[in-house]
Amino acid sequence: MNEKLQKTYYIIGIIQRISMVILTFCMIGAAYKIYDLSLKFSIEMKEIHQLVTNLYNMIHRSWLF
């Protein structure tokens, strides 16, 4: 394999891994925000579960992964 192409492949892999870590932290932050808002507005836990499930499905279908 060409060395330049291999180096580009590794850089793309590193960028993808870093974006996955950042996205994971964003998901954790969003989950805490949703939970905090649910306590503030008295939303039932069932609705929160649906919101988190929808968020997971959107991320699962993302082109990044």
- Give me the domain span that covers residue 19: 3-60
- Based on the structure, what is the number of domains in the chain? 1
Whether 49 is in a domain gets the answer yes
Whether 65 is in a domain gets the answer no
pLDDT of residue 10: 93
Indicate the range of 2-6, 14-18, 61-65 predicted with least confidence. 61-65
Nearest to 40 by CA among 51, 48, 28: 48
For residue 25, pLDDT beyond 80: yes
Whether 11 is in a domain gets the answer yes
The residue-averaged pLDDT of 4-30 equals: 90
pLDDT of residue 7: 92
Q: How confident is residue 49, by pLDDT bands cut at 50, 70 and 90?
A: confident
Question: Which conformational region is residue 21 in: left (phi greater than 0), alpha (psi within -120 to 50 degrees), or beta?
Answer: alpha
Question: What distance in Å separates the CA atoms of residue 41 and residue 35, rounded to the nearest whole number?
Answer: 10
Whether 10 is in a domain gets the answer yes
